[in-house]
Structure 1
Amino acid sequence: MGRMTTRQPVLRLRAGRSARRPDTLAVEEPLAVRVGGETVTLTMRTPGQDFDLIAGWLVSEGVVAAPADIVTMRMCTDEDNTVDVTLAPDAVPPRPRAFVTTSACGVCGSDSVEEVRTAMRWRVLDDETRLDVGILAALPDLLRSQQKVFDRTGGLHAAGLFTAGGDCVVVREDVGRHNAVDKVVGAACRSGRLPLRGHVLQVSGRASFELVHKAAAAGVPAIAAVSAPSSLAVDLAEECGLTLLGFVRGGGMNVYTHQERVRLGPFPRQRNVT
């Protein structure tokens, strides 16, 4: 496993003064994924929890849904940053991607939005989970308290899976926001938790179409973001039956879709919410 951080000498300028000192940076490196010996994708990621990352990506591709769908995953000895995956005989391998998936893109290589929608196995709309607004308001701080590498670098996104009662299940960090979500979903898949009924996915940045897609593909009924959602993210969440919350910070939030899951109660004081 590669390092998640590295040290780099920098010239630090503050208040008219300069000093040379080492700085801690988040590592970004390529990861090649082979299925049955064939390279199906090359993605940029922060090393660490690579097997979770791959399992989560395979969930979002509609390839796997349970631990038994993945027979083996192993780091290749003949090539650095390469993992070889053996799927169960009845699992359909993902279509190879034609180019590198960057740390900013999680659905690159898909032919259409409709192709992404067809990867979803579970009907999220049927999930009757109810979420207390006070618990939702507390999730960003709970996630932030688990961002250990961010504390050292300031350069990683994070995603956290929480129960409806606010208990933390798993938190992952990565230079790519979609990678952080894949690592969370992959960890859940490998431990046999899918579908993730009764859970909330909290993310540290904005809510894009790709993050809503990955949440829905894992059967998560709600995704909450510290920042704004995109219009396509809202459209997909509405269509899938997923509760989408944005600007969850400062004690407030905006509920964009399926507001019926949010249970009002003692409401935290709102501030700085758009």
Structure 2
Amino acid sequence: MTYCVGVQLNRGIVFMSDTRTNSGVDNISTFRKMFTFETPGDRSITIMTSGNLATTQAVISLLQERSKHPSERSPDILQVESMFQAARLVGSTLKEVIAQHADYGQQADSAFGATLIVGGQIKGGEPRLYLIYPEGNFIEASDDTPFFQIGETKYGRPILIRAYDPDMSFEEAIKLLLVSFDSTIKANLSVALPLDWHVYESETFRIGLVGRVESGDAYFEVISNGWGGALRDAFNALPGFEMPD
């Protein structure tokens, strides 16, 4: 399983993903799930992946190869003219890979499924964030839906809904995402550190600050322990329930 989140802010977009993949409790591995494409001064595009590992790796490999070799540069994620076209390209590539892998109709299609988050900015347009479905179609983040999650989404969603603010700083957004990931990690063993993060600042058109939160990271431990203590304090501060007579 996986957990990835992309959050759109007034200042830009913050991305975070875990790195755990597993095919059972005795087959757990670490694979990167966040990938960036950049032409400095023109565009910065980040893709996060969830689902069948062979499918997601094939999608990223195709996009990378088509951006490197002149004979393969149609279509090319570094040449499309807008983030909408980038989302269409990623969606069609995902659909193409699933169709190639699926030999037995819809049942096989499901086995090779994947979901992606695509976000960034191309010169001439605003920062955009998209959720790409296995069928190749997609939706865009908006004021009503300012963040997207893929993978194991349910445990980390409540804190995002309650604490998100479009005016928050990048530092506050990373702290918020770390709380969301901590809640997910504690509830589901299929999500785990290390965590990768990337901050894209609007109008920079280049890869922004990136980092990795490793196991044993001191700040993450402070966040995890502090959030647990804060929840207990908040719970204890609530009025007690009175049993009816």
Fold equivalence (TM over 0.5): no
Give the structure with the higher percent strand. 1
TM-score (norm 2): 0.24
Give the structure with the higher percent helix. 2
